[in-house]
Structure 1
């Protein structure tokens, strides 16, 4: 189905920003995607679940192709698709239920409750339920009369996800005092807003020291050290080459991440793998602070597909003359960190080991939405 001109313009605008990298960072991208989907769902005409799913998937395809390395786009699209499926299932359950509220007595179905509905109503075998999502059979749900409140219910659920994103930092940093203790030495790398808020909250109750690897060539670690020192935290900047040398003095490594993959692996700023491997060697616990919106159902079959390379001028400038003609320089922005190097994920829903992430994926995404095929 075609979108309204206003919606089409908004989608084109976000696609352009993603292609030009005018919008970067998982949080900013996720919130922009949610705002767009609220407009698309509320301002376009649709009457069936198949029409709405196709509409949202078409938006997801375009955004995902604009910048495949921003996995937060796909995560938000899949989260919204899951909400849509759940709301239609619930609506179809009400449509299929007896209107007189009569109950079956005596020889009723063993799984039926006192209201005459199966305990597994969302998964029942009624024809309208199977046709609900347009994935089985040849007919559609065009003949099912859904309540007029369905659109507003879907929008309300999406707004709750938006509120969740806005409160991500609060939900994570409130766990700080449980994981950071007095007189500890904490190590981190680069600048992560989530880690920054986490450490600042811990500093309100604990006195500890932070070592920040500068993360060359971006040197975002220096920016992190400035912000932490302003909050009264004793902070030391170390070169990336010194990480292994000082790791034996560290009590805990706390990392941020760009994305979390389905196997528990990380797509994080370059240098993160080196730090996590050094921590593993010295048996130092590695804690990753991240919101659930960064959790992706994708697996790292090709680790390089999640990476992006930047201008190598900051590594080897053109002023090097003859040398630059003899070498090939790559400047990757991300590292892949295997799940074996991570001990704990601190999310806005609490702490989880890498082995538990599969459960979070099942709760937040539908297996039919791994790709956005129409």
Structure 2
């Protein structure tokens, strides 16, 4: 593997340090920073074809995701760009324009070549057609695997089109929260009482858009102890004259009967429709299920992950900040207590009512279809490879 340019190495190191120091306050900032680094890697690194570029990006994926035990945003952005590389490669090979109605995949290329080779064969009898087609397909698969198709696209043809697609993708990420918030009027109705947990930039914009359209509603905000990020949400919404009430986390079950719906954000949306969100979300979801209160999750598409998490591992899939907010280090009980402060909860899909993405809302059971359209199946193993490298 060729050595990365010094500027790219510096940008990657800076990005990793910013992640470890929690410099990025919003998830969209992490997504845009990841796109910027990968654009720099594509533009300044040495590679001769699409296959080499894919290998180069995959080799840096684990490094970029360091310090993100819960968030899969960097992996998701990397997967999406890898699929863009494959799509651009196929588009160049087939000469299809970006706006073509024909959806092409690399497997479609193989099937097309197989059919062409079979039809042009001299023997067209019915009994020989299927064997020859199977033989031809096996021959193509052996001699022209997918990597060879990607290897047939040179850097001179691939880079300009790929950069255009990456610029478009970056703009899509920047507008994702705005596009999501514009669905607020379809979900927030007049004089509703809506419950949320802590602070979420996406949920804040969701409420702000509804308020800007003169929709009247009241927001109950769980304060999200011990970090009390709900206070920030209350201040920001009250400045827009949105009626708010801050509620202690322990009162969530008591007030649930009065709530019309719940709107929350998420850190990562998994392929089975489950999600990882801030601590306290699981208790909130259980109370909502008991009272049959709809639970709506705001999740831009860059948070959709192809991974599954059937059971939440509090060690491998969480982060633990200092317990200073709960018990001071100067306390006389400090030496005799073990204090664990998990940052996130896992919420299974059966507790989620609706996923509000950048497009229309979808049921949790439909998330896997969206994921299959966003990413290529051969890139779904990035997290597994990272875990194996840590053993």
**Alpha-carbon separation, structure 2, partners of 1:141 and 1:256:** 38
Deviations 1:220-265 (A, max 9, x none): 0011001011011000000000111000000010001111111111
Deviations 1:25-76 (A, max 9, x none): 4211111000111111111221222210011112212112343333101110
Cα contact 1:17–1:23 (8 A) shared by 2: yes
Task: Give 1:197's aligned residue.
Answer: 205
1:350 pairs with one of 351, 355, 360: 360
Cα contact 1:33–1:73 (8 A) shared by 2: yes
Dislocated runs of 4+, deviation >6 Å: none
**Alpha-carbon separation, structure 1, partners of 2:201 and 2:268:** 14
What is the aligned length? 346
Give the RMSD, CA atoms, in angstroms: 2.5
**Alpha-carbon separation, structure 2, partners of 1:201 and 1:352:** 20
Cα contact 2:50–2:89 (8 A) shared by 1: yes
The alignment's TM-score, normalised by the length of structure 1, stands at 0.86
- Matching of residue 156 in structure 1 with residue 167 in structure 2: no
Task: Give 1:100's aligned residue.
Answer: none
Cα contact 1:91–1:147 (8 A) shared by 2: no
- State how 1:92-107 maps to structure 2 within 5 Å: 92-94=93-95
Deviations 1:284-320 (A, max 9, x none): 0000111010011111155222210111111122343
**Alpha-carbon separation, structure 1, partners of 2:275 and 2:236:** 25
- Matching of residue 307 in structure 1 with residue 318 in structure 2: yes
Per-residue deviation, 1:147: 8.0
- State how 1:72-221 maps to structure 2 within 5 Å: 72-94=73-95, 127=140, 131=144, 133-134=146-147, 144=152, 146=154, 148-204=156-212, 205-221=214-230
Deviations 1:162-220 (A, max 9, x none): 11111012111111111111111000000001100111111233111110000000000
- State how 1:169-318 maps to structure 2 within 5 Å: 169-204=177-212, 205-301=214-310, 303-304=312-313, 305-318=316-329
**Alpha-carbon separation, structure 1, partners of 2:156 and 2:196:** 51
**Alpha-carbon separation, structure 2, partners of 1:126 and 1:148:** 29
Per-residue deviation, 1:158: 1.4
Change (3 A) 1:28 1:90: same
The alignment's TM-score, normalised by the length of structure 2, stands at 0.82
In structure 1, list runs of 5 or more residues that go unmatched.
Answer: 98-103, 110-123
Per-residue deviation, 1:129: 11
Structure with the bigger percentage of helix: 2
Cα contact 1:49–1:133 (8 A) shared by 2: no
3-state SS of paired residue (2:296): strand
